[in-house]
Amino acid sequence: MSVRVRFAPSPTGLLHIGGARTAMYCYLIAKAQGGQFVLRIEDTDLERSKKEYEEKMIDDLKWLGIVYDEGPEKGGKFGPYRQSERLDLYKDLAWKLVKEGKAYPCFLTKEELDALTEKAIAEKNAPHTYHGQYRDLAPEEAQKRIDAGDEFVIRFKNHQKTYTFNDLVRGEVTFGPDMVGDFVILRSTGMPVYNFCCVIDDWKMEMTHVIRAEEHLPNTLRQLMIYEALGAEPPIFCHVSLLIGHDRQKLSKRHGATSVTQYRDQHYLPQALNNYLCLLGWSHPEERDIFQLEDIIPVFDLNRFNKSAALYDIQKLNFFNQQHLKLKSGPELVTHILEVLPKDHPFRAFDSAKQEKVALFFVEKVQLVTEFEQQLDVLFKAQLESNEEVAEVESWETTGLIRDYIKSQVEVLMADGVQNASSDTFNEWLGYIKKEMKIKGKPLFKGLRVVLTTQAEGPDLKEIIPLTPMAILKDRLGI
């Protein structure tokens, strides 16, 4: 039987990086075993679910390169893939369980429920679970109240058993009999509840593996009970460790940028995000750390998940982004740079060969594409910010001499209509100053640098100068 794995987000917000990580693991597991990866939208919470979020999530998944074989819009033979379009299925099965005596209508009001919870809290050592007062109400009696229009929910009849299952990452997990009471499967609004829909869909969609974050671990108990009541075979569960923030709490909005959209907006590379996220809780069999998603599909090993929570560290993400940036080809880099540069940036005026040259040269110096703009200033901005060192170099007598010489040379070049100095001309300048003017060492290089770039440090001069437009040089020299 083919492996089938699903990612089932609820569209109540933007795609969270934790969600992206789970989706990626699902995708990887499915693909590693030649199976299918399915996207299912869990939108039974009508209050909070929004169509825009669903669209945005799908778009972000696409951006990450996590492609699903079946899902909303795309279709597939197990559809529909939106829970809001499968409501009749859940309701029918809920009532089927009622008929079989495995669930029952409950008429407890909200106030009565609250009172019970308070009482449980007051009695220390007691689990805050509810054991149904209506579970033994005669079916005819219940029907009478329903017909009379009394508000009700359907609760699952829990038999207080111990459940054990084998989790792919946790190993054997056991839940004691007092963990939950008779929980709701159908709300008073007639809407089914997450744990119920989830089981039905995973069953009907023939999922072989359920991969999700550890926060869902306690839900597994309820789900196991539902599988049993339905007479369905549970899938293999795999509860992946949680992503946490610097306070060691579950990663959430207050930890800063936590949605894929935010990283996308900041022009992070999807490959970098995938790569970093993948290594948070999973390790490469050969301990490789920089890779593309496609490359690890053949080696993706389900036994290499780490059990403990992983701290999300943006500094390391930045490192991965830098590494993946350096993996890009010249033309790819130029495209990325062009995306983030202002419309009127002079870099755009360069021909593509020169653009590539510049891109490949400066990529060493940045972690994010957005940092290129500032790096490019050394080429395109006449006057850069001064500092103490610049002032000191300026004060040297030799620096003035160098300036006068360079000025005269640039004037000659300009008279010839030259657009940019070549690396040869730069070498000539260097040779002349050294031999004829007898300036060498620090005064030579620092002096030249300050004269040519108005800065005391920066990229290799002999690379930079041929790329600097003559107009900028002219400006810097005060011609």
Partner RNA sequence: GCUCCUAUCGUCUAGCCCGGUCUAGGACACCGCCUUUUCACGGCGGUAACAGGGGUUCGAAUCCCCUUGGGAGUACCA
Residues carrying an active site annotation: 253
Interface stretch with RNA, choices 31-39, 62-70, 124-132, 396-404 (CB under 7 A): 124-132
Distance CA 152, CA 190 (A): 9
Per CB under 7 A, 315 contacts RNA: yes
For β-strands 4-7 and 36-39, DSSP reports them as: parallel
Nearer CB in complex with RNA: 116/414: 116
Number of residues located near RNA, criterion CB under 7 A: 84
- The number of angstroms, rounded, from the C-alpha of 91 to the middle of its chain's C-alpha atoms is 35
Task: Locate the DSSP E strands across 232-358.
Answer: 236-240, 243-244, 310-311
Per CB under 7 A, 188 contacts RNA: yes
In this chain, which of 36, 158, 195, 454 binds RNA, going by CB under 7 A? Answer: 195
Token representation of residue 176: 């004691």
Per CB under 7 A, 432 contacts RNA: no
Per CB under 7 A, 307 contacts RNA: yes
Per CB under 7 A, 399 contacts RNA: no
Position 172: which residue type? E
Per CB under 7 A, 440 contacts RNA: yes
Distance CA 296, CA 31 (A): 10
In this chain, which of 306, 370, 409, 425 binds RNA, going by CB under 7 A? Answer: 306
Task: Locate the DSSP E strands across 140-198.
Answer: 153-156, 163-167, 171-175, 184-186
In this chain, which of 89, 137, 168, 217 binds RNA, going by CB under 7 A? Answer: 217
Of residues 241-270, those binding RNA (CB under 7 A): 241-242, 244, 247-250
Q: What's the count of helices (H) and strands (E) in the chain, helices before strands? A: 20, 11
What is the number of other CB atoms lying within 10 angstroms of the CB of residue 238? 20
The distance of closest approach from Cβ of residue 203 to RNA in the complex, given in angstroms and rounded to an integer, is 16
Per CB under 7 A, 444 contacts RNA: yes
Per CB under 7 A, 116 contacts RNA: no
| Main-chain dihedrals φ then ψ at residue 268, nearest 5 degrees | -70, 155
Max Cα–Cα distance, the chain, nearest Å: 111
The distance of closest approach from Cβ of residue 284 to RNA in the complex, given in angstroms and rounded to an integer, is 8
Nearer CB in complex with RNA: 38/193: 193
Q: How many residues does the chain have?
A: 479
The distance of closest approach from Cβ of residue 39 to RNA in the complex, given in angstroms and rounded to an integer, is 13
The distance of closest approach from Cβ of residue 411 to RNA in the complex, given in angstroms and rounded to an integer, is 25
Interface stretch with RNA, choices 60-68, 103-111, 255-263, 404-412 (CB under 7 A): 103-111
Per CB under 7 A, 42 contacts RNA: yes
Per CB under 7 A, 109 contacts RNA: yes
- With 0-12 / 13-18 / 19 or more C-beta atoms within 10 angstroms meaning exposed / middle / buried, residue 68 is buried
- Lookup result for tokens 């002349």: 432
The distance of closest approach from Cβ of residue 188 to RNA in the complex, given in angstroms and rounded to an integer, is 3
**Residues 220 and 165: beta-carbon distance below 8 Å:** yes
Per CB under 7 A, 310 contacts RNA: yes
Interface stretch with RNA, choices 63-71, 280-288, 327-335, 343-351 (CB under 7 A): 280-288
Per CB under 7 A, 431 contacts RNA: no
Nearer CB in complex with RNA: 64/325: 325
Distance CA 301, CA 309 (A): 19
The distance of closest approach from Cβ of residue 53 to RNA in the complex, given in angstroms and rounded to an integer, is 12
Nearer CB in complex with RNA: 10/261: 10
| Main-chain dihedrals φ then ψ at residue 252, nearest 5 degrees | -145, 180
The distance of closest approach from Cβ of residue 449 to RNA in the complex, given in angstroms and rounded to an integer, is 6
Per CB under 7 A, 299 contacts RNA: no
The distance of closest approach from Cβ of residue 210 to RNA in the complex, given in angstroms and rounded to an integer, is 13
Of residues 336-395, those binding RNA (CB under 7 A): 364-365
* Spatial CB neighbours of 63, under 8 Å, sequence gap ≥ 6: 260, 264, 270
How would DSSP label each residue in 420-471?
S--HHHHHHHHHHHHHTS---HHHHHHHHHHHHHSSSS-S-HHHHHHHS-HH
Per CB under 7 A, 104 contacts RNA: no
The distance of closest approach from Cβ of residue 99 to RNA in the complex, given in angstroms and rounded to an integer, is 21
In this chain, which of 31, 56, 86, 170 binds RNA, going by CB under 7 A? Answer: 170
The per-residue b/e assignment along 127-160, b for 16 or more CB within 10 angstroms, e otherwise, is eebbebebbebeeeebeeeeeeeeebbbbbbbee
Per CB under 7 A, 458 contacts RNA: yes
Per CB under 7 A, 21 contacts RNA: no
In this chain, which of 267, 316, 354, 381 binds RNA, going by CB under 7 A? Answer: 316
- Lookup result for tokens 């100068």: 465
Q: What is the rounded radius of gyration, in angstroms, for the C-alpha atoms of the chain?
A: 32
Per CB under 7 A, 84 contacts RNA: no
**Residues 293 and 274: beta-carbon distance below 8 Å:** yes
- Binding track, positions 64-83, relative to RNA; x by CB under 7 A: --------------------
Per CB under 7 A, 176 contacts RNA: yes
Distance CA 145, CA 142 (A): 5
Per CB under 7 A, 119 contacts RNA: no
In this chain, which of 33, 84, 283, 425 binds RNA, going by CB under 7 A? Answer: 283
